[in-house]
Amino acid sequence: MTQTQAFHVEGMTCDHCMHAVTDELQALTGVTSVDVDLTTGTVTVDANRTLTDDEVSDALDEAGAYALA
């Protein structure tokens, strides 16, 4: 069963940032798709499991961005 989670992400300012965030999140186990809206800072992730806040935060940190609670 696919679960959809949305995050508000700060620190994305360009296409490179968007691709970095997408790549890092897609590398997480179970992630099936990532949609980044650069204008609103919303990142929507579909996965076959619930992603933990820590693993999402770590992935965003690797991409140079961060999620807001």
Q: Are 47 and 30 in contact (CB under 8 A)?
A: yes
Predicted confidence at residue 66, as pLDDT, reads: 81
Predicted confidence at residue 34, as pLDDT, reads: 98
Report the CATH number that the domain containing residue 55 is assigned in CATH.
3.30.70.100
Predicted confidence at residue 69, as pLDDT, reads: 52
Distance CA 30, CA 15 (A): 24
Q: Which domain holds residue 20?
A: 3-68
Q: Are 65 and 21 in contact (CB under 8 A)?
A: yes
Mean pLDDT per 10-residue segment, the chain (69 residues): 93 92 97 96 96 93 81
**11 in helix, strand or coil?**
coil
pTM above 0.75, yes or no: yes
- What domain count does the chain have? 1
Q: Are 66 and 10 in contact (CB under 8 A)?
A: yes
User: Cβ–Cβ contacts within 10 Å for residue 55, how many?
Assistant: 12
